[in-house]
Structure 1
Amino acid sequence: MAFRIAATSASRFVKPYTPPSPLFSAPFHNLTLKFHLTHLPIRKPGSQCYIRAISETSVESSISKKEEEEQQLPKDWKIKMLYDGDCPLCMREVNMLRERNKSYGTINFVDISSDDYSPQENLGLDYQTAMGRIHAILSDGTVVTDVEAFRRLYEQVGLGWVYAITKYEPIGKIADSVYGFWAKYRLQVTGRQPIEEILEARKKKGEVCKDNNACKM
């Protein structure tokens, strides 16, 4: 009986707890929530926004890569080497010269098999002409071919002694004859298509690229 009286007395003096009223009423809360959800970016993998983000990133990456390659070109080059990037044996020599050129910066390497190759930027030497034999362009605009081109290239990276003997006759003529035989049959030796088929394939590819932007993606 004493416990009940004490509890009753205490309830008279202690007010029941009432939680504070919210700063915003329920309707305002709902409105604010809807507003934020409406403006949240959608990141669904299959959405158009997601695809566009990927394409824009790819474009930026390709542009930055191209700019990086242009920045790596030697500013004060002495000779420009036109090489066939699709020739596996040729690329061994190109890679060796490219590695040596890191210390000299005198050779400008131009891949004639690239879609970006421009004859106008290389004294009008088109793909078919450049494929026939090696061509090199000196900084003064002089075009050299065959063994002389190799000799000039090697001289620019401190290996002039390799081809020094070809300056003298009849060694020079013999060396040119050997190289001419190699240049004539190098496609067959490396297991590639004849030059006529390669030219036809490049022509068709050029026509497709002209009709749409597939080659630029």
Structure 2
Amino acid sequence: MTPKPKSPQVTVWYDGECPLCQREIALFRRLDRRAGIDFIDVAGDAACPIDRASLLQRFHAREAGGPLVSGAAAFAAMWRAIPLLSPLGHVARIPVVLWGLERLYRLFLVVRPGLQSLARRLAPAPRDAA
């Protein structure tokens, strides 16, 4: 078992009320075997580095000691903290690659509301506490 780092390599802010985000973060938590990422649900009472509305519009992350980044740069920062995805995160440091990933991220933002609706419909119904 790998020991948990003293402080996270990356802090990620996500919308815990979004079923699409919940699934995505669950996947990244499973991949984060070193526990190097601090996932913060901004739908709750968590402290936010910028206004909550801005955090909910785009994906945000901060590598330890680095600036707050969003969009494709935030995904790349998170990928670098996950050994399996680290090579992709490092390739994303190349400006033209990051530029292309950001364009893809912006296209994703256009279809995101539809994907969120689909994820809500596919989510299992909450069980009644009987």
TM-score calculated relative to the size of structure 2: 0.73
Which of 1 and 2 has greater Rg? 1
C-alpha distance in 1, partners of 2:36/2:101? 25
Residue in 2 aligned with 1:146? 71
Residue in 1 aligned with 2:96? 170
Residue in 2 aligned with 1:112? 42
Higher strand share: 2
Q: What is the 5 A alignment of 1:9-24?
A: none
C-alpha distance in 2, partners of 1:162/1:182? 18
Residue in 2 aligned with 1:210? none
Q: Which has the higher contact order (CA 8 A, sep 6+)?
A: 2
Residue 113 (structure 1) shift: 1.2
Residue 97 (structure 1) shift: 1.6
Contact kept? 2:62, 2:77, Cα under 8 Å: no
Residue 99 (structure 1) shift: 1.7
Count of matched residue pairs = 114
Residue 169 (structure 1) shift: 4.1
Which residue of the other structure, out of 56, 79, 92, is the alignment partner of 1:131?
56
Residue in 1 aligned with 2:22? 91
Residue 141 (structure 1) shift: 5.1
Residue deviations 1:131-156 (CA, integer Å, cap 9, x gap): 11111123225211111211111111
Contact kept? 1:136, 1:144, Cα under 8 Å: yes
Higher helix share: 1
Q: Structure 1: which 4+ aligned runs deviate by more than 6 Å?
A: none
Alpha carbons of 1:128 and 1:74: their partners in 2 closer, same or farther (altered >3 Å)?
A: farther
Question: Alignment partner of 1:81: what SS?
Answer: strand
